[in-house]
């Protein structure tokens, strides 16, 4: 059924079919243009993210703009190598033939971004889509409207308007857009909408990547250096005020560790955000009232050991740690996605592993331990999109590692070469020869089939 976007998508399809986006020179030129966009408009992008989330300058530059620039640098260095044919092994009868994998772009891809990292989550997939030779529609999140507007204004000034389009809008527009037949859909956001996206993709048998969320657990062992661990945990939790898909959602540790953690955390939070975090310029705000109200309700779980201050008119929630939280508490029933860190006391490693395995497979698992056996136990007996040991969030900066979920936290992966591969179909190619002698051997396969054909 045609939608109000049919004409736009048809035009992109035509350009793709004409082969405009395929040459490596073209891809390189578009990637360089996107790089320039990020470089020349840093102030505009930082301001938009401040308007949407009060995102601190440092976080906007390092976690968003520089992240995308780094992605592009990696693509530019490796593009030629990654786009080459990949020769494969073959059996003896094909000795004089060639078999290889040829990466080809899917066509017109749809990238649906989310609001928490509105530049990174929208442009980083686009880098992969361009590098692999696709045309693309980018749909930023309406929940971060300032950034969405800036992207709509800037992208056509730098990228080829005939091959890359920004379409803004909310549920109505996205629903309409999803009626179209895309060649690939890359979605980032919550799981419930992920199901809607997958249903829409199924209508056209369109392959898709779903970058979803969930509750990422953190196990804190008794033996690790509590000060260093605490600093790394609090940074990963409160960056972007906890509105980070890979933020540690909750801590599992013994009751005695919980006590120590709270003592140290009080000092470190003062170091990070001063006596009164409300006055700190380094804390983002909650994205909107709906999320503020949702988070406010989660405070009722366990008891507040640190923070707990909520100022609705400023969408401010102070960095909060809840202690003695139970599995049945409200805060443990959904992804928190805000500056609230519950601690669920457990007796030992086995209980922690059981706790994790009783729930959806998380996007990330964090394990803080000096004990190699403990780390091995978690690695071998749990499943998660990724696992970072003795730190939080930083594994995302290793672009030689794939990033993505498993089970309820998503499907597909990207970053670095994985982005290039995600947006490329891997076509199997076999090129045969016409050598007469080998044809005689090969002729055994032709009918009429006689007993002779089967002789060994
Ligand atoms: P959101 O509300 O911005 O939605 C994401 C996108 O889906 C938007 O572009 C939006 O327009 C579209 N959308 C929303 N409802 C829709 C509908 N009914 N039909 C079609 N499209 C619709 O963001 P969100 O879902 O609140 O994002 C937060 C979630 O995203 C969290 O669960 C977080 O963990 C997850 N996330 C995951 C990653 C990752 O890389 N795995 C990164 C960031 C966020």
Q: What is the pLDDT of residue 135?
A: 98
Helical segments of 143-220, H only = 145-158, 171-177, 191-203
Q: What does the buried/exposed string (b/e) look like for 128-148 if buried means 16 or more CB atoms within 10 Å of the residue's CB? A: bbbbbbbbbbbbbbebbbbbb
Beta strands in 202-325 (DSSP E): 208-211, 217-220, 250-253, 303-306, 310-311, 316-317, 320-323
DSSP 427: E
Q: Is the pLDDT of residue 456 over 60?
A: no
| Catalytic positions | 211
Q: What is the pLDDT of residue 449?
A: 86
142 lines ligand 1 (CB under 6 A): yes
Q: Is the pLDDT of residue 168 over 90?
A: yes
Q: Whose CA is nearest to atom 27 of ligand 1?
A: 189
Q: What is the pLDDT of residue 153?
A: 98
119 lines ligand 1 (CB under 6 A): no
Helix 255-273 with 226-238: angle, nearest 10 deg? 60
Q: What's the token pair of residue 258?
A: 């919980």
- Determine the Cα–Cα distance for residues 87 and 143; give it in Å rounded to an integer: 45
**Cβ neighbours of residue 113 closer than 8 Å, sequence gap 6 or more:** 121, 122, 125, 138, 139, 140, 141, 188
Q: What is the pLDDT of residue 230?
A: 98
Q: Is the pLDDT of residue 2 over 90?
A: no
> Which candidate, 253, 250, 219, 231, places its Cα nearest to that of 388?
219
Instruction: Give ipTM to 2 decimals.
Output: 0.96
Q: What is the pLDDT of residue 1?
A: 59
Beta strands in 333-454 (DSSP E): 340-345, 364-368, 386-389, 410-411, 424-431
61 lines ligand 1 (CB under 6 A): no
State which of 55, 112, 114 you would mutate to test the pocket of ligand 1, scoring each by most atoms of that ligand within 8 A of its C-beta.
114
**Cα-to-centroid distance, 56 and ligand 1 (Å):** 22
Q: What is the pLDDT of residue 155?
A: 98
**Cβ neighbours of residue 138 closer than 8 Å, sequence gap 6 or more:** 111, 113, 122, 126, 151, 155, 164, 165, 166, 167
Q: Is the pLDDT of residue 3 over 90?
A: no
Is residue 110 within 8 A of residue 185, CB to CB? The reply is yes
**Cα-to-centroid distance, 113 and ligand 1 (Å):** 7
Q: What's the token pair of residue 298?
A: 């989660």
Strands 135-139 and 108-112: parallel
**Cβ neighbours of residue 253 closer than 8 Å, sequence gap 6 or more:** 219, 220, 221, 222, 261, 343, 345, 346
């Amino acid at each position: 059924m045609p939608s109000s976007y049919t004409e736009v998508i048809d035009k992109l399809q035509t350009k793709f079919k004409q082969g405009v986006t395929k040459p490596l020179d073209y891809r390189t030129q578009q990637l360089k243009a996107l790089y320039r966009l990020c470089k020349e408009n840093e102030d505009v992008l930082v301001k938009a993210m401040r308007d949407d989330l009060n995102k601190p300058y440092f976080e906007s530059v390092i976690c968003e703009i520089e992240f995308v620039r780094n992605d592009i640098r990696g693509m530019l260095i490796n593009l030629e190598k990654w786009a080459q044919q990949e020769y494969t092994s073959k059996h003896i009868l094909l000795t004089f033939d060639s078999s290889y994998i040829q990466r080809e772009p899917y066509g017109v891809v749809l990238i649906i971004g989310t609001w928490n990292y509105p530049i990174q989550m929208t442009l980083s997939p686009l880098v992969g889509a361009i590098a692999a030779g696709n045309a693309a529609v980018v749909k930023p999140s309406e929940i971060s409207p300032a950034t969405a507007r800036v992207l709509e204004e800037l992208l056509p000034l730098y990228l080829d308007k005939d091959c890359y389009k920004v379409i803004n809008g909310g549920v109505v527009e996205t629903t309409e857009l999803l009626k179209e037949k895309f060649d690939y859909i890359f979605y980032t956001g919550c799981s419930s909408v992920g199901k809607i996206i997958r249903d829409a993709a199924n209508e056209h048998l369109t392959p898709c990547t779903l970058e979803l969320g969930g509750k990422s657990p953190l196990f804190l062992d008794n033996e690790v250096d509590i000060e260093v661990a605490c600093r790394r945990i609090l940074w990963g939790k409160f960056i972007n005020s906890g509105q980070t898909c890979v933020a540690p959602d909750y801590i599992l540790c013994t009751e005695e560790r919980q006590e120590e953690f709270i003592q140290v955390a009080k000092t470190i939070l003062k170091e990070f955000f001063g006596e009164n975090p409300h006055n700190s310029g380094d804390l983002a705000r909650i994205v909107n009232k709906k999320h503020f109200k949702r988070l406010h309700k989660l405070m009722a779980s366990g008891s507040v050991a640190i923070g707990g201050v909520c100022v609705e008119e400023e969408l401010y929630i102070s960095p909060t740690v809840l202690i003695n939280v139970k599995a049945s508490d409200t805060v443990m029933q959904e992804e928190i996605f805000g500056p609230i860190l519950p601690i669920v006391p457990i007796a030992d490693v086995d209980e922690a592993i059981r706790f994790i395995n009783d729930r959806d497979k998380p996007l990330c698992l964090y394990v803080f331990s000096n004990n190699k056996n403990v780390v091995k136990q978690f690695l071998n007996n749990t499943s998660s999109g990724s696992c970072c040991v003795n730190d939080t969030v930083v594994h995302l900066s290793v672009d030689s590692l794939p990033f993505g979920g498993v089970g309820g936290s998503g499907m597909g992966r990207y970053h670095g070469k994985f982005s290039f591969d995600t947006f490329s179909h891997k076509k199997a190619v076999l090129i045969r020869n016409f050598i007469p002698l080998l044809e005689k051997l090969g002729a055994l396969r032709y009918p009429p089939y006689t007993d002779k054909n089967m002789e060994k």
